[in-house]
Amino acid sequence: MKRSNLRALLFASLSGRMIYAIASLAALPLLSRLLGAEAVGLVGFFSTIVMVMMVFEGGLTSNVIQQLAWRRVREARAPRRFSASSGSLILTYVGFFAVVGAVLTFIIIGLSDAIVQQWLKFSALSNAQVEYSVKCMGVFVGLNLPVMILQGVFIGREQQIKLNALYIPYSLARTIGVLLVMLAFPGWRSVEEYFLIQVFIQTTYLILLIAVLSKEFAAVLGALSFRFLYLKRGWRFSRGVLLISITSVFVVQIDKLYLSGNSSLADYAAYSLASTLAGFPYIFSTALNSVLFPRFSINLDAADEYKVLSLFGVSCAAITFLMVVLCVAVYFFGGSLLALFFTPDLATGIGQILPVLLIGTALQSVLIVPFALQLAAKWTSLALRLNLIWIPIVLLLLPALVHKFGVIGGAYAWLIYNVFSTILTFILVARRFSFLKAVNAELMRIFAVTLISSVVICYAVKAVAAAFMDTYEGLAFETASVLAIVVVGGYIFRKKLVHFR
């Protein structure tokens, strides 16, 4: 079977994530004005809960992606046999996670009163509003587990383009669509209706994913069956990923969990909004991971070190360049943009937190390349050990930083963790895969040149805009300058990008 073109897959995955991110960013200011700061804080808590509950997929999504990538290559030899095998694998995992999701839904609903009374701090919202919202969060989480597996199925079969046809309308509905409904129907402008609509959209998306896959496997539907053997086989690989997931969720979400219970929802709103904005780099890393992990798995299975090296090198170079440019641009230009869309208090709070969170998230995004390689090689111990080393450190460090600096202390903890993790990961991955050693030195050169060039250009652009242009002209000039840096970088790296295929 001919392999899909990586650039087309990346573009499909990236475009879907980009649309979701832009829609989210566009929706945030309107959300804060429609529902208020406490509601925004509650939405931030919702995002944290969804991320934390993802740990219960136990790393099995990664196993499904790897297994389906392996089967897809072999479908050319025995189409019906491997199609039936793939279909049964999907049926088994979706059924299993539907049960796990139902259990989580009942647990969260059962704990909703305790969460409202003992954890969240609010004054403008009523207890009934917040408790209803938490119950809706529980239903959403239960639906999200089978959704994750089904999205993994499309990724494992390298069908990101088909997935995008569903994911883009879904992402627009969850962000801008919800707010348009609330604008059209003033009686629905409440936090309860916001979460109820989210549940409806998630249910619809789940049904559509199942319908599309059922059509694809229509020829072998009668041969599909639920097989516990697939779960048993997947557990050996996934238990390592499960431990990574548990520890990763802890280290990634600990700042948000801690602040959600140790600050008011109004104060948490600024941190939550900054965290959402700082999540922009995840567009690139998530899209990149969805194409790298299956392809690394195939190349390692074929023992093709040259293709692994080429793909690893160009991916690291591209993501490093983009992240440096993004961080420098936000540092110089972000404040004036925030002031246009948010109230002065929120804009000030977000502006202080965003640059710190963004650098940490950018480092996390660069790490997605070595992490995809580790998973493809079934080497799960490195990420786990790094997380286990960090957990006792952050348990002591986070409260101290928050006590001294306020909510921005959570951002400092996030940044320190990612600096620690990035340095050790690249050193140890190069030690494990000796043919990758040259990549680290090259990445340092790319980082240094990009950082110095971007700082000089952005500083000059900021000075020119401040001296000769009004607010909107300045923003247009600054945006054009950043895009020009990216285009020039793409031209410089054009020979490297040839290897991304």
The whole-number average pLDDT for the span 71-79 is 58
- Assess contact for 105 and 17: CB atoms under 8 A: no
The whole-number average pLDDT for the span 199-217 is 89
pLDDT at 190 exceeding the cut of 70: yes
pLDDT digits (tens, 9 = 90+) for 15-34: 667 777 777 777 777 777 78
Which of the given ranges, 49-63, 295-309, 323-337, has the highest pLDDT on average? 323-337
Confidence of residue 454 (pLDDT cuts 50, 70, 90): very high
- Assess contact for 240 and 316: CB atoms under 8 A: no
pLDDT at 6 exceeding the cut of 90: no
The whole-number average pLDDT for the span 333-341 is 82
Which has more confidence, 220 or 165? 165
The whole-number average pLDDT for the span 312-337 is 88
pLDDT at 86 exceeding the cut of 90: no
pTM score: 0.69
SS3 labels along 21-88: HHHHHHHHHHHHHHHCHHHHHHHHHHHHHHHHHHHHHCCHHHHHHHHHHHHHHHCCCCHHHHHHHHHH
What does the alpha-carbon distance between residue 254 and residue 248 come to, in Å, rounded to a whole number?
10
What does the alpha-carbon distance between residue 256 and residue 276 come to, in Å, rounded to a whole number?
11
Residue 404, judged by CB atoms within 10 A of its CB (0-12, 13-18, 19+), counts as: exposed
Q: In sequence order, which residues have a C-beta less than 8 Å from that of residue 350 and are 6 or more positions away?
A: 270, 273, 274, 277, 338, 342
Report the share of the chain in percent with pLDDT over 70: 83
pLDDT at 140 exceeding the cut of 90: yes
The whole-number average pLDDT for the span 48-70 is 71
Q: Which of 420, 91, 54 is nearest to 241 (CA)?
A: 54
Which has more confidence, 217 or 327? 327
The whole-number average pLDDT for the span 3-10 is 57
Confidence of residue 143 (pLDDT cuts 50, 70, 90): very high
Q: From the CA atom positions of the chain, what is the Rg in Å? A: 23
Which has more confidence, 39 or 217? 39
The whole-number average pLDDT for the span 156-185 is 84
pLDDT at 179 exceeding the cut of 70: yes
Confidence of residue 200 (pLDDT cuts 50, 70, 90): very high
- What confidence score (pLDDT) does residue 1 get? 45
Number of H helices, E strands in the chain: 19, 0
Report the share of the chain in percent with pLDDT over 90: 17
- What confidence score (pLDDT) does residue 74 get? 58
Q: How far, rounded to the nearest angstrom, does the alpha carbon of residue 146 sit from its chain's CA centroid?
A: 17
User: For 121, which DSSP code?
Assistant: -
Which of the given ranges, 44-53, 94-103, 471-480, has the highest pLDDT on average? 94-103
pLDDT at 13 exceeding the cut of 90: no
pLDDT digits (tens, 9 = 90+) for 362-409: 998 999 888 888 878 877 778 888 888 888 998 899 999 988 888 889
Inter-axis angle of helices 160-172 and 191-216, to 10 degrees?
Answer: 160
Residue 467, judged by CB atoms within 10 A of its CB (0-12, 13-18, 19+), counts as: exposed
For every residue of 242-302, DSSP letters joined together read HHHHHHHHHHHHHHHHHHHHHS-HHHHHHHHHHHHHHTTTHHHHHHHHHHHHHHHHHHHHT
Q: Which of 43, 58, 72 is nearest to 104 (CA)?
A: 58
Confidence of residue 59 (pLDDT cuts 50, 70, 90): low
- Assess contact for 241 and 59: CB atoms under 8 A: yes
Confidence of residue 455 (pLDDT cuts 50, 70, 90): very high
What does the alpha-carbon distance between residue 53 and residue 278 come to, in Å, rounded to a whole number?
21
pLDDT at 3 exceeding the cut of 60: no
For the record, the structure tokens of 284 come out as: 């690139």
- What confidence score (pLDDT) does residue 307 get? 79
pLDDT at 5 exceeding the cut of 60: no
pLDDT at 150 exceeding the cut of 70: yes
Which has more confidence, 468 or 450? 450
Residue 77, judged by CB atoms within 10 A of its CB (0-12, 13-18, 19+), counts as: exposed
- What confidence score (pLDDT) does residue 104 get? 92
Name the residue ranges covered by the structural domains of the chain: 6-497
Count CB atoms within 10 A of the CB of residue 58: 23
Confidence of residue 2 (pLDDT cuts 50, 70, 90): very low
Location of structure tokens 């959570």: 410
- What confidence score (pLDDT) does residue 325 get? 92
- Assess contact for 412 and 273: CB atoms under 8 A: no
- Give the CA dihedral 476, 477, 480, 485, nearest 10 degrees: -150
- Exposure string for 98-133, b = 16+ CB within 10 A, e = fewer: eebbeebbeebbeebeebbeeebebeebeeebbbbb
Which of the given ranges, 159-173, 315-329, 427-441, has the highest pLDDT on average? 315-329
- Assess contact for 499 and 313: CB atoms under 8 A: yes
Confidence of residue 91 (pLDDT cuts 50, 70, 90): confident
Instruction: Classify 185 in phi/psi space as left (phi over 0), alpha (psi -120 to 50) or beta.
Output: beta
Q: Which of 278, 285, 206 is nearest to 13 (CA)?
A: 285
pLDDT digits (tens, 9 = 90+) for 214-244: 887 765 555 566 666 666 666 665 665 667 7
- What confidence score (pLDDT) does residue 324 get? 93
Q: Which of 20, 3, 9, 10 is nearest to 322 (CA)?
A: 10
